[in-house]
Amino acid sequence: MIDTAGARAWLIRHGESESNAGLPTAGPGAAPLTPLGRAQAERAAAAFTGPPALIVSSTFVRARETARPTRERYPDVPYEEWPVEEFTFLGHLHGLGTTNAQRAPHAMAYWERCDPAYASTGGESFKDVVARTRDLLGRLARRPEGLTAVFTHGMFMRVLIWSLATGSTDPDAAAMRAFRRFLQVCAVPNGAVLELRGSGGGPEDFQLLAGSFTHLPTVTDTPTPAEP
């Protein structure tokens, strides 16, 4: 049964970024949207049937740019920035001017290490990002009824889905290995929407509703990758 009262949120992955498109970036949060990404942001804004109660974005450029059309459509809706940025596990290894392909060996080494408490210089651990998803659920649980639109990131959304589905909030190495397998079977395309419904309790009382990307201008068989 789907709860119809309590907290409600749309988690919206940002539109295609230049990093998703294989271009070099100036750091984890700096990649802007591509023309396709801007079209996806416009379609996300058009998917609302009425104004949300609150618009939220991460501080990363690609999320802010994806939120912009929705903010312009509903200029009277409050806007806030919350810690819902992408899982930035590479830290200093996310070199300036590097591409996803160039960073891939570092990303592979991180997952092979399989230490949920490990954080490279300037990065965060797997435990850290799980804690951030719990923080988001706590913030949403404390909000009054009404839709919160959260413009966020693909890996962050998948960590949240996995944590809710498994109940894992303090992952060990085995849980981290299980999450890596989950990444292989759970895709979140750019611009996709995942709905959360809360029953009026705490962070553990949320339900996940199946996501949608039918509102997007272009849907391919292979979603654009996350950005390590």
Sheet holding 206-212, edge to edge: 79-81, 54-57, 146-152, 7-13, 193-198, 206-212
The secondary structure element, H or E, covering residue 214 is none
Give the separation between CA 196 and CA 161, rounded to whole angstroms.
Answer: 10
Give the separation between CA 20 and CA 89, rounded to whole angstroms.
Answer: 17
Q: What is the pLDDT of residue 1?
A: 33
pLDDT, tens digit, 9 for 90 and up, residues 79-120: 999 999 999 999 888 878 889 899 999 999 999 999 999 999
Residue among 137, 43, 46 at smallest CA distance from 84? 137
Give the separation between CA 69 and CA 44, rounded to whole angstroms.
Answer: 8
What letter does residue 39 receive in the DSSP assignment?
Answer: H
Q: What is the pLDDT of residue 219?
A: 47
Give the separation between CA 8 and CA 143, rounded to whole angstroms.
Answer: 9
Residue among 51, 54, 45, 53 at smallest CA distance from 74? 51
Per-residue pLDDT of the chain (228 residues; tens, 9 = 90+): 334 457 899 999 999 999 999 999 988 999 999 999 999 999 999 999 999 999 999 999 999 999 999 999 999 999 999 999 999 999 888 878 889 899 999 999 999 999 999 999 999 999 999 999 999 999 999 998 899 999 999 999 999 999 999 999 999 999 999 999 999 999 999 999 999 998 777 777 888 886 656 566 554 444 555 666
Q: What is the pLDDT of residue 185?
A: 93
SS3 state at 169: coil
pTM, to two decimals: 0.90
Distances (CA, A) of 106 to 58, 93, 117, 140: 24, 7, 17, 34
List of domains in the chain: 12-211 (3.40.50.1240)
Distances (CA, A) of 198 to 49, 53, 80: 20, 15, 20
